[in-house]
Amino acid sequence: MIRDWKNKRVTVMGLGRFGGGVGVTRWLASRGAKVLVTDNAPPAKLQQALEQIADLDVELRLGEHRESDFRQTDLVVVSPAVPDSNSYLRTARDASIGITTEINLFVERCPARVVGVTGSVGKSTTTAMIGHVLERSLTNRRTWVGGNLGVSLLDSLDNITAADLVVLELSSFQLARTPAVRWSPHLAVITNISPNHLDWHGDFATYVAAKLEIVRFQEPARDTIVIGDHENLRNHLDQTRGALAGIWRYALDNDTPTAACDDQRIRWENVKLAIPGRHNRENAAAALTVAHVLGVESEQAVAALATFEGLEHRLQRVAVRDGVSYYNDSKSTTPEAAITAISAIDAPLLIILGGYDKGSDLTPVAEFAAKRTRFAACIGKTGPTLVEAIRGAGGQAGLFANLPDAVIACRKRARPGDAVLLSPACASWDMFPDYRIRGDEFTRLAVGD
């Protein structure tokens, strides 16, 4: 582990838009490293991120990568979304250059106890819920929330102490590289595992293996696992850890959050949430279980959860227009997430589906949309496939060239009391730089003039 960064040459691959590249660039520069930031995107697409590092003395290589930047350096810090098969990373490995990530740099140096959260669906909201409950319940110790949520905690390292708690959302991309530093969190939370990012990982087995890195280096005598009580998840963990003794499993019993660990049982009555959907009650069950493990009294935790208002782009009601509610669920990038969102809305529904093709099977969400929605406006690369599948299942669907056209089509068909839901089930990359920009565009269109 590098301790003295003075004059170390570091190539940061991927400035990005979600904070990781900015955070690591600022942290490295503050420690005297000679930083070169390289990103395939041109400056116009990185304007917000560039503004956040404008005060730094760093070299920029934008709109391209150069092999020399990966050979003539002491370290490469790579964006999690870049696969190991990338030719520039191969160049670095061939030159015996070390490769790391922003999250690895943080966890290697973090003195605090860490709660790590992963899963195919629900990890962002669960992470935020856990942080919300801990911040309001454990007033004698500080709570820090970051990771894949878009907040780099590297700049906060000097202020984080061993008495604090850190809650990190961890993606499969990030976890795939944590073995390089032989790290797992003290308390690992896995919400669920279903096929996702198969275009990056190659197959489901590799994706599952990446998710389970969250427990690989735990110390059984010290650390804790909290999981959603799903059979497939139990089976995956059984293969990794053996019998699930000592593992907290959370679930819902008639919408009431519960948890169990061996012969211990706990139930949280009268849990009230400001955000809709059974899935959010499951997320709440995870947060309450973590709080219980960390010694928070049940009444305190339940009271704190009641004040949680949710996250942007996750089943966020952004407008009510002419009696029609508009929900921005742009973070829905898997079929499972879209099915969950459809189930959460208790109103006649029109949905916008489609986007970049990650290799997921879209048949389940198409069939579910055919049964549960009045109309599906489909967009993006997967739009034609979704239209065909929805119509084949007896539903109403149309193909539209872009998001504005899809919103207009839903607005024309919507009646007072209906809801229009953007829950694409696909990534945004074919039409938008990221899901946030897609969600912001939908919000603007929903609000109107």
Co-location of 133 and 277 in the same domain: yes
Q: Other CB atoms closer than 10 Å to residue 153's CB: what's the count?
A: 24
Residue 359: CA count within 13 A, CB half-sphere:
12
Specify if 412 maps to a domain.
yes
pLDDT above 60 for 275: yes
Specify if 76 maps to a domain.
yes
Each residue of 428-445: pLDDT tens digit? 999 998 899 999 999 999
Q: Identify which has the larger pLDDT, 322 or 197.
A: 322
Specify if 235 maps to a domain.
yes
Co-location of 431 and 353 in the same domain: yes
pLDDT value at residue 259: 97
Co-location of 380 and 443 in the same domain: yes
Q: How confident is the model at residue 197 (pLDDT cuts 50, 70, 90)?
A: confident
DSSP state of 61: E
Q: Give the pTM.
A: 0.82
Task: Kindly give the interhelix angle for 435-447 and 403-413, rounded to the nearest 10 degrees.
Answer: 40
Q: Which domain holds residue 247?
A: 104-305
Which residues have a Cβ under 8 Å from the Cβ of 436 and sit 6 or more positions away? Answer: 17, 18, 312, 313, 330
Specify if 112 maps to a domain.
yes
Co-location of 108 and 51 in the same domain: no
* CA distance linking residue 275 with residue 25, whole number of Å: 35
Each residue of 103-162: pLDDT tens digit? 999 999 999 999 999 998 889 999 999 999 999 999 889 999 999 887 889 989 999 999
Co-location of 325 and 231 in the same domain: no
Co-location of 60 and 126 in the same domain: no
Co-location of 227 and 283 in the same domain: yes
pLDDT value at residue 243: 56
Whichever domain contains 264, its CATH number is 3.40.1190.10
Co-location of 135 and 260 in the same domain: yes
Tell me if residue 193 falls in helix, strand or coil: coil
Co-location of 191 and 269 in the same domain: yes
Q: Return the C-alpha torsion angle 378, 382, 385, 387, nearest 10.
A: 0
Specify if 91 maps to a domain.
yes
DSSP state of 252: E
Specify if 384 maps to a domain.
yes
Each residue of 408-427: pLDDT tens digit? 999 999 999 999 999 999 99
Which residues have a Cβ under 8 Å from the Cβ of 134 and sit 6 or more positions away? Answer: 143, 165, 167, 290, 291, 294, 296
Co-location of 272 and 185 in the same domain: yes
Specify if 220 maps to a domain.
yes
Percent of the chain with pLDDT over 70: 98
Q: How confident is the model at residue 199 (pLDDT cuts 50, 70, 90)?
A: confident
Co-location of 207 and 356 in the same domain: no
| Residue where a domain terminates, one of 45, 65, 100 | 100
| Residue where a domain terminates, one of 284, 305, 326 | 305
| Residue where a domain terminates, one of 85, 100, 115 | 100
pLDDT value at residue 19: 60
In the 3-class helix/strand/coil scheme, how is 113-138 assigned residue by residue? EEEEEECCCCHHHHHHHHHHHHHHHC
Q: What is the mean pLDDT of residues 32-44?
A: 94
Quickly tell me which residue has 């009696």 as its tokens: 323
Instruction: Mark 301-333 as b/e (b = at least 16 C-beta within 10 Å).
Output: bbebbeebebbebbbbbbbeeeebbbbbbbbbb
Q: What is the mean pLDDT of residues 14-43?
A: 90
Of 172-176, 241-245, 342-346, 420-424, the range with the lowest mean pLDDT is: 241-245
pLDDT above 90 for 448: no
* CA distance linking residue 100 with residue 357, whole number of Å: 28
Say how many domains are in the chain.
Answer: 3
Beta bridge partners of 34: 9
Q: What is the mean pLDDT of residues 96-102?
A: 97
Specify if 288 maps to a domain.
yes
Co-location of 84 and 20 in the same domain: yes
Cβ atoms of 259 and 317 closer than 8 Å: no
pLDDT value at residue 121: 84
